[in-house]
Amino acid sequence: MTEGFDAQRPYVIGVAGGTGSGKSTVAAAMADAAPGQVLVLPQDVYYRRASDPYFEGRHPINWDEPGAFDTPLLVEHLDGLIAGRPVERPVYDFEASDRRPETLRLEPAPVVVVEGILVLHEPELRRRLDVKVYVDAPPDERFIRRLERDVSERGRSAQSVIDQYRNTVKPMHDLYVQPTKQYADVIVPEGGRNLVAIRVLVDHVKARIGEVRPGAVGAPSGGAA
């Protein structure tokens, strides 16, 4: 993973995996390890508006299939960051299923982490990634985390979360998300609880920004994940 690295270009890491697997925990750990040096770009703020023409005639809306994301805009923003330009990232209102009027200005950083369920599904995203990570976790744990998050943070009822999980989340995970594990350079079993694997990734990020001696992802000091 070290060959061909351009020190002038941001190092791009993709973090994918099922809903509730711990992707955001892994991404946050890398960002927290090097404040101001690691930018996290979450895929889920690039959801389309519920009023988007793409969803016309689709009731209920399937938010877990690839077309639910505005991938061209995400790719455009990622390309801007890679080129050293700031971008205006959407701010998504999950209760209203709509983008807010305001945007969030993101400045380029030495490391960009793109995090989301289908980051490894999209070829246009995959080919921009220097390292591809798949965060894995047992289905029951992922469901519980999804339920807790959507009820407490996104204004959902427990029954609506359960219905959505049965009707679209699990089928789309099996169809689109799980198969992307084949593209991963690094697989993190047990999700955000795998502190050893997270340390490996954190050490790799630090190496890329010069805080520790450069080394391969698979060979951290103190043992392997």
Q: Got the DSSP string for 212-224?
A: S----TT--TT--
State the residue range of the domain holding 171. 11-208
Q: State CA 142 to chain mean position distance.
A: 15
What are the Cα distances from residue 163, in Å, to 20, 57, 169, 202, 220?
16, 20, 9, 36, 42
Taking the C-alpha atoms of residue 30 and residue 99, their distance in angstroms, rounded to an integer, is 27
* Residue 6 placed within a domain: no
Share of the chain above pLDDT 90, in %: 66
Q: Given this model, what pLDDT does residue 183 score?
A: 98
Q: Given this model, what pLDDT does residue 215 score?
A: 39
Which parts of the chain register pLDDT below 70? 1-7, 211-225
* Residue 15 placed within a domain: yes
* Residue 107 placed within a domain: yes
98 burial level (CB within 10 Å; 0-12, 13-18, 19+) = middle
What's the first-to-final CA gap in the chain, in angstroms?
17
* Residue 198 placed within a domain: yes
Q: Is 28 left (phi over 0), alpha (psi -120 to 50) or beta?
A: alpha
As for how many domains the chain has, the answer is 1
Q: Given this model, what pLDDT does residue 6 score?
A: 53
* Residue 1 placed within a domain: no
Beta bridge partners of 131: 13
Q: Given this model, what pLDDT does residue 2 score?
A: 39
* Residue 121 placed within a domain: yes
Q: Given this model, what pLDDT does residue 201 score?
A: 96
Taking the C-alpha atoms of residue 70 and residue 170, their distance in angstroms, rounded to an integer, is 21
CATH code for position 149: 3.40.50.300
* Residue 224 placed within a domain: no
User: Roughly what angle, to the nearest 10 degrees, separates helices 195-208 and 23-33?
Assistant: 40
Q: Which residues touch 113 (CB under 8 Å, ≥6 apart)?
A: 12, 13, 14, 15, 27, 30, 31, 38, 39, 40, 41
* Residue of 114, 132, 27, 15 whose CA lies nearest to 73: 114
Q: What is the largest CA-CA distance in the chain?
A: 55
Q: Given this model, what pLDDT does residue 191 score?
A: 85
* Residue 2 placed within a domain: no
